[in-house]
DNA sequence: CTGTTAGCGCATTCAT
DNA sequence: ATGAATGCGCTAACAG
């Protein structure tokens, strides 16, 4: 229980050697006779010796702690990134010192000092998913800094983001593979870089197949279900024929879905539907009503963490955007067997 | 940039005093003349001195690191707890060393050793929300251990959980306050302690009002939307009149909702609906179709973290269950203005 | 009031 | 092959 931790000297004493010899053995360094090695190892095991990480850190200069600066940690989409990153850090035996909402001018300076006082081995900066540039804080640190779920405004910095363009492309290719040719796109405003990336990806897929978007352009609004409802109504009212809709996110898709159903259209029989975010997956549900694109935010966080750790260990550090691939999650809304 | 960190001796040298005097001043300890104090403070500021937390830890024995043992960190409902806990730890300048899925026999022993090697100041154990007992690991540590989103099987341990009973009670009282008297309950199997707590809470509210549950008992199934669909159909088929349904979670509620709508019933006009989990809130949406109970999992994690930190600082430590209150989130499904 | 000494636990010279 | 000495940066006990 409350037995005080055993130190290296204790082990050395039991083994009848000096502390330095014990240290050597336990770290696999210099040459030591097998006999004494044996004694030391046994003693260490018998005493359940745990080298004090604090003392070790003091001499090595490595704290085994990573700083995490988040814009809004409890955000629905940030949490998976944060969780993915911090649990991956744990797998590397690194702890995470998390400061949320400390990126504004007032707090930042003080936070940077705290982080430096802790001698963090690296820093992870988490954005809020908007691709607009985050102010780089890398200058303030002598250790590697990696940005995730947001992009640093300094091209020298490595930024990790889910590949929105790929998402659009996958969605487009999936719908095309189903034989759909009249594909509409309902999404958020074009100045939202996240929306734009998806739209571009969709376009590239359609272009490659020589197919043109229904109405010739996406329908732009916000990210809400309500917008999905209105947009779907507009689409129906336009009279333009369509057999598929790629929606900017699952919320919009659900709005569209309800309108289509109310209009007596079958999904996917008459209209196939693809969303984005894998909302129900995020909630841990197996019911895949909607075919969707999973941005794999957990993997995004983990990838950023891995990259940071590698960089700390002398690995490569490339500035610019690092994209993490998305995956298609099949649901009933594009099921081959059109029961609905 | 890469300038090496300034040490206490540097400050002392500049101020023309000894290191220990500088230490005293910077820590507000013993009495020092105002003159030298001034010089030291100025020197420290000018050099932007950051006391090395590692060295400080070595002597104080406090690592400022909290261990976190999670059963399944990426779980949809665990993430908010984890995020809430770790960001709160950050507010206390404590880092989190997270080990996920290390509670099984194989890994646990090794993980405990790692945690001890790190000299963690406290441990947080995160369950998966099932109230069934988690094996206590407190014996393995000389520091405070707090359990959250799960209950330790040792009554000596402090466990934090959202108050499911209160949730049921709030739901019941809300429906009663709306004038509903024929209230049904559709939820998961009774051996799920989480489902049972909600059912008990509902019962207590109804009992207090002298109202009896429709059918005299809850409808038990799983947590899925499909079960909500089937249960609602059963309920309708039973012919028993009802004007409200409290559902074990939002998924079930959505299933019930769709059946009611298809049956031509208005929500909340004919039937008011209350769910649980605040799913749409977790996803960051403002659209509150469903009235629901928010388990405040973020707050749960934060509360557990706070309690642990306080205990570390010599605060009280009470074994047993600590409940974190839930809150009602109003949505259209019980709106006073029955538009739908 | 302030400087000197010692020690936290370990790793790493340097001797032997 | 092993032990003694030194230092990582800071705090605390002891002198003066």
The string of pLDDT tens digits covering residues A296-321 is: 999 999 999 999 999 999 999 999 99
Strand D neighbours with CB under 7 A?
A 16-21, 24, 30-33, 35-37, 55, 58-59; B 5, 7-9, 19-20, 23, 26-27, 29, 49, 51-52, 55-56, 58-60
Distance CA A263 to C1' D9 in A? 73
Alpha-helical segments (H) within chain B: 8-15, 19-26, 34-47, 53-60, 78-91, 105-117, 164-177, 193-208, 225-238, 250-262, 279-282, 297-312
Which residue does chain B place closest to A226, by CA atoms?
B287
Looking at residues B225-248, what average pLDDT do you find? 97
Query: In the prediction, which pLDDT does B336 show?
Result: 63
Q: Is the CB of B18 under 7 A from strand C?
A: yes
> Of the ranges A186-190, A318-322, B6-10, B334-338, which one carries the lowest mean pLDDT score?
B334-338
Looking at residues B178-190, what average pLDDT do you find? 97
> Which residue, counting CA atoms, is nearest to the C1' of nucleotide C2?
B21
State yes or no: pLDDT of B181 exceeds 70: yes
CB B212 within 8 A of CB B206: yes
CB A89 within 8 A of CB A96: yes
Cβ contacts of A149 on chain B, cutoff 8 Å:
none
Tell which wins on pLDDT, B31 or A15: A15
What nucleotides of chain D have any atom within 7 angstroms of a protein Cβ? 1-5, 7-13
**Band of the pLDDT at B1, cuts 50, 70, 90?**
very low
Looking at residues B162-184, what average pLDDT do you find? 98
State yes or no: pLDDT of A122 exceeds 90: yes
CATH class of A164-295: alpha beta
Query: In the prediction, which pLDDT does B89 show?
Result: 98
Cβ contacts of A76 on chain B, cutoff 8 Å:
282-284
**Band of the pLDDT at A93, cuts 50, 70, 90?**
very high
CA distance A300 to chain B (A): 13
Pairing mode, strands A151-152 and A133-134: parallel
Q: Is the CB of B59 under 7 A from strand C?
A: yes
Query: In the prediction, which pLDDT does A287 show?
Result: 72
How far apart are the two ends of chain A, measured CA to CA in Å? 62
Q: Label residue A41 exposed, middle or buried (CB < 10 Å: 0-12, 13-18, 19+).
A: middle
Query: In the prediction, which pLDDT does A32 show?
Result: 84
Tens of pLDDT, residue by residue over B280-316, are: 888 887 778 899 999 999 999 999 999 999 999 999 9
State yes or no: pLDDT of B26 exceeds 60: yes
Query: In the prediction, which pLDDT does A338 show?
Result: 45
Alpha-helical segments (H) within A209-268: 225-238, 250-262
CA distance B107 to chain A (A): 12
Query: In the prediction, which pLDDT does B253 show?
Result: 97
CB A265 within 8 A of CB A306: no
Query: In the prediction, which pLDDT does B132 show?
Result: 81
Q: Specify the DSSP element, H or E, that contains A106.
A: helix A105-117
State yes or no: pLDDT of B130 exceeds 90: no
CB A171 within 8 A of CB A185: no
Fold identical between A65-162+297-324 and A164-295?
A: yes
State yes or no: pLDDT of B338 exceeds 50: no
Query: In the prediction, which pLDDT does B340 show?
Result: 41
Looking at residues B101-126, what average pLDDT do you find? 94
DSSP strands (E only) in chain A: 65-70, 95-100, 122-126, 133-134, 145-148, 151-152, 158-162, 183-188, 219-221, 244-247, 272-274, 292-294, 320-324, 327-329
State yes or no: pLDDT of B339 exceeds 60: no
Would the pTM count as exceeding 0.85? yes
Tens of pLDDT, residue by residue over A216-244, are: 999 999 999 999 999 999 999 999 999 99
Quick check: B58 and A54 CB within 8 A? Answer: yes
Closest-lying nucleotide for B10 based on CA to C1': D9
Tens of pLDDT, residue by residue over A175-212, are: 999 999 999 999 999 999 999 999 999 999 999 999 99
> Which residue, counting CA atoms, is nearest to the C1' of nucleotide D8?
A59
**Structure token pair of residue B62:** 């406090």
Pairing mode, strands A244-247 and A272-274: parallel
CB A52 within 8 A of CB A42: no
Q: Looking at the partner chain, which of B76, B89, B142 has a beta carbon nearest the beta carbon of A284?
A: B76
Which residue does chain A place closest to B250, by CA atoms?
A283
d(CA B161, CA A92): 29
Q: What is the dihedral of CA B199, B203, B204, B208, to 10 degrees?
A: 160
Q: Looking at the partner chain, which of A64, A80, A98 has a beta carbon nearest the beta carbon of B96?
A: A98
Query: In the prediction, which pLDDT does A339 show?
Result: 47
Q: Where are the domains of chain B?
A: 65-162+297-324, 164-295
| CATH-assigned architecture of domain B65-162+297-324 | 3-Layer(aba) Sandwich (3.40)
Looking at residues B20-31, what average pLDDT do you find? 87
């Amino acid at each position: 229980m409350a037995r005080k931790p055993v130190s290296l000297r204790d082990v050395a004493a039991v083994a009848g050697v000096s502390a330095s010899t014990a240290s050597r053995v336990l770290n696999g360094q210099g040459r030591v006779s097998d006999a004494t090695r044996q004694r030391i190892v046994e003693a260490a095991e018998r005493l359940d010796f745990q080298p004090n990480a604090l003392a070790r850190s003091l001499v090595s200069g490595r704290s085994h702690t990573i700083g995490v600066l988040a814009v809004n940690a409890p955000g629905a989409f940030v949490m998976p990134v944060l969780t993915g990153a911090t649990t991956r850090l744990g797998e590397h035996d690194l702890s995470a010192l998390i400061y949320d909402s400390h990126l504004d001018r007032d707090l930042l300076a003080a936070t940077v000092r705290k982080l430096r006082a802790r001698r963090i081995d690296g820093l992870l900066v988490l954005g809020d998913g908007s691709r607009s540039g985050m102010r780089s804080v890398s200058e303030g640190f002598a250790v590697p800094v990696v940005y995730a779920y947001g992009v640093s405004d300094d091209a020298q910095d490595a930024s990790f983001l889910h590949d929105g363009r790929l998402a659009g492309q996958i969605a487009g290719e999936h719908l095309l593979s189903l034989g759909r040719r009249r594909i509409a796109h309902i999404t958020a405003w074009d100045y939202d870089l996240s929306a734009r990336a998806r739209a571009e990806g969709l376009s590239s897929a359609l272009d490659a197949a020589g197919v043109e978007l229904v109405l010739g352009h996406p329908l732009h609004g916000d990210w809400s279900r309500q917008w999905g409802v209105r947009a779907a109504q507009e689409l129906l009212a336009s009279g333009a024929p369509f057999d598929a809709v790629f929606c900017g996110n699952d919320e919009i898709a659900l709005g569209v879905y309800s309108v289509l159903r109310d209009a007596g259209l079958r999904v996917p029989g008459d209209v196939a539907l693809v969303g984005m975010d894998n909302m129900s997956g995020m909630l841990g549900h197996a019911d895949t009503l909607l075919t969707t694109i999973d941005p794999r935010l957990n993997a995004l966080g983990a990838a950023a963490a891995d990259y940071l750790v590698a960089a700390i260990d002398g690995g490569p550090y490339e500035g610019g955007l690092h994209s993490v691939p998305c995956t298609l999650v099949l649901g009933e809304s594009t099921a081959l067997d059109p029961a609905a």
